[in-house]
A and B are shown apart, each in its own frame.
Chain A
Amino acid sequence: MITKCVQCICALVIFIAVYFPSRHARHYDYIHLKDVISELVFNINNKFSQEKNCEYGALILNNTEIIIADVTQTKYFIPPLIGGEFIPQTFTVEQNNTLPFNRAEMMNYGAKIAIESNIYGCSHRPRHMSSSLDTFRYNLPYLTLFGGAISILTSHFKKVNGMSNLFFGWGGEDDNFYNRLESHQILPYRFDPELSRYTMLIHKKQLKNDKRFQILNKPLNIENDGLNRLNRRYLVIPENLFTRIVVN
């Protein structure tokens, strides 16, 4: 009887150990496609403010996606907003029928397609954008992952004093950043996997940082490590389509 019980308990322990959820890729909560629009931060002020990353023109979804409604006779064109850091993604919508030009409908079509592709804009909470990466079989390795492509409001980034400067080599900095956000109750979220698909380009991998867990296990030092602890040994070189920053 006792041996039977011991065998059962052993089998159960092995079963749980083998199928323990954290040993696997995870399913995660996300903002559904229809709710995505309400989560985006639209900054209608078109002045060149400091929070340049989330400026929108009156009819521009955000500064990387520009919708151009267009019909053969009546062309409707929004001049691309040059000056942002990204090369804008341009969508042209053509009304291919004999009816009079319907600008609003064309706008809706453009917006629909633009929203269904990845959105490079700001949302109310920090957003983990690359949650459906091809090299991870389009799965999320663990729930607190905040690496790869992320988007965050400038105010949030300043609030947690940016990211840590202590991580050399591969790994750890994203988990540290997640911990910083968590300590300020600014929990990141993710959008629909359809909006979060990324392709990892083939790249030479950095050396793994063996000390990363050691640094991660230390208590967070938000005040003395981050955005406010940068030295002045850097150069800013303006190029045609981007700005180069060289740090010594």
Chain B
Amino acid sequence: MNDETLCCCEYYDSLNERNHILACCCNCVDLDEAVDSLIRGKSVSEKNKTGFLNTMQERLRIPWIGGARQIAFDTILPVFILPIMLFLASISLWWTVFSFTTVAIFLLLIFNFFIRAIPNTKFFLTWTVTSILLLYFIFEFVVIPFLEILVEENIALSALIFFFIICFYTTKIKANELAQLGIEATESLVGKSINGFYSCQICNAKIPDKDHHCVWFDCCISKYNQFYFISALFFAVVALLYSSNLTLTSVCHPFRFYKAILLPDDCSDVYYQFELSLSFVSAIYSLILAAILLMLLLQQLMLISVGFSLKEWNKLTFLSKLCLGLNKKRPHNRGFIKNWSRILCLNKPQYHPLDREV
């Protein structure tokens, strides 16, 4: 191994040899042997099959500063699923219905599988990031060139997306800090039970005052980053609704609602042109996302008001959910105002490892 720094497309493979990602299709011994035996009419040996899969996994890399990084197959999956879904959906109305329902069913099926089989999968995070990038690029490079959206409308939307990204990033940073704190706490209090810390199997950390683990953000949400989480949800909902409104009024026939707001009323001929249908389909996807996120946002607001964590809420029976859980014991409830002030004002957990004796 030499000590030269790698360029962004290079990496050291399993034999510690320097390799380039552009050579990913060259020099695979197992593939050569497999093809060789196929041509000779022999069956492919098991060793060659696993060797080939390992080589493929090994060479599946993305360029990165300081050498190409290896990526897991499940991480890269949404990068293919989402564009294919939108592309197929733009063919016709029936394709839209078909591809959206297929993806929804696929997600429902794979959700529990991933949580159980690969708990720390980055699949959902990649899904979120790919959705944001895809929707933004479709808006900037397909919808804007229709020349129907004003500069200030574009800037307003970008500002909303910017605020969302800031909140999203802060949520993750804070979650990392909390996990770090959890490690410190366990180290300083070996063998003792720690009050207020909840272990998370997915991120393999102890989080103070944990609310739930959000797979789409790939981090834990606790009382200390819940404000940023809720802000992120809020900006995401507003940005998605605004962008879908701008897109739909551009590609469909709009009408004036109360003289000020433009709303779409006739989208019957969007499927005649690919750009129109792609924009339309991305707007529909945004609307679906906005509806789901809005429900999550309202649930979060309600749970904070009544003083439940999402984990406790999910354990409730249907009947007590109907009563908003008011008939059950709420160990973390401090009253409406205190619940909210805790969310809004708390930045760092009030925890000093040395002071506490349990």
Do they bind each other?
yes
A-binding segment of B147-155, B191-199, B322-330, B347-355? B147-155
Contact residues on A (Cβ < 8 Å of other chain), bracket: 10 to 19
A83: CB under 8 A from chain B? no
Contact A24 B154 (CB under 8 A): yes
B202: CB under 8 A from chain A? no
B153 CB to closest chain A CB, in angstroms? 8
Given contacts A18-B140, A19-B155, A138-B262, contact A24 B254 (CB under 8 A): no
Residues of B close to A202: CB separation below 8 A: 253, 266, 269
A31: CB under 8 A from chain B? no
Residues of A close to B250: CB separation below 8 A: 137
Interface residues of A in 95-148 (CB under 8 A from B): 134-139, 141-142
Residues of B close to A26: CB separation below 8 A: 150
Contact B154 A139 (CB under 8 A): no
B76 CB to closest chain A CB, in angstroms? 25
A202 and B252 CA atoms in complex are apart in Å by 11
Contact A21 B148 (CB under 8 A): no
B41: CB under 8 A from chain A? no
A211: CB under 8 A from chain B? no
Given contacts A137-B249, A137-B254, contact A23 B148 (CB under 8 A): no
B73: CB under 8 A from chain A? no
Residue from the set A21, A26, A135, A141 with the largest chain B CB neighbour count within 10 Å:
A135
B279 CB to closest chain A CB, in angstroms? 13
Instruction: Choose among B140, B262, B272 the residue that contacts A137 (Cβ–Cβ < 8 A).
Output: B262
Per DSSP, are chain A's interface residues mostly helix, strand or loop, or mixed?
Answer: loop
Interface residues of B in 140-166 (CB under 8 A from A): 140, 144-151, 153-155, 158
A25: CB under 8 A from chain B? yes
B255: CB under 8 A from chain A? yes
Contact B253 A24 (CB under 8 A): no
Contact B151 A21 (CB under 8 A): yes
A229: CB under 8 A from chain B? no
Write out, one digit per residue, whether chain A residues 1-43 have a CB within 8 A of any chain B CB (1) or not (0). Answer: 0000000000000000011010111110000000000000000
Contact A135 B147 (CB under 8 A): no
A139 and B148 CA atoms in complex are apart in Å by 6
Identity of the chain B residue whose Cβ is nearest the Cβ of A15 in the assembled complex: B158
A134 and B269 CA atoms in complex are apart in Å by 15
Write out, one digit per residue, whether chain B residues 229-244 have a CB within 8 A of any chain A CB (1) or not (0). Answer: 0000000000000000
Identity of the chain A residue whose Cβ is nearest the Cβ of B150 in the assembled complex: A25
Hey, which bits of chain A sit against chain B, CB under 8 A? Answer: 18-19, 21, 23-27, 134-139, 141-142, 200, 202, 205
Given contacts A25-B149, A138-B262, A142-B147, 16 further A-B contacts (CB under 8 A): A19-B155, A23-B147, A24-B147, A24-B149, A24-B151, A25-B147, A26-B150, A134-B254, A134-B255, A135-B253, A137-B262, A138-B256, A141-B147, A202-B253, A202-B266, A202-B269
In the complex, 15 of the A-B residue pairs with CB atoms within 8 angstroms, ordered by the A residue number, are: A18-B158, A23-B147, A24-B147, A25-B149, A135-B254, A136-B147, A137-B148, A137-B149, A137-B250, A138-B254, A141-B146, A141-B147, A200-B253, A202-B269, A205-B272
Closest 6 CB pairs of A and B: A141-B147, A24-B151, A137-B148, A136-B148, A25-B150, A137-B249
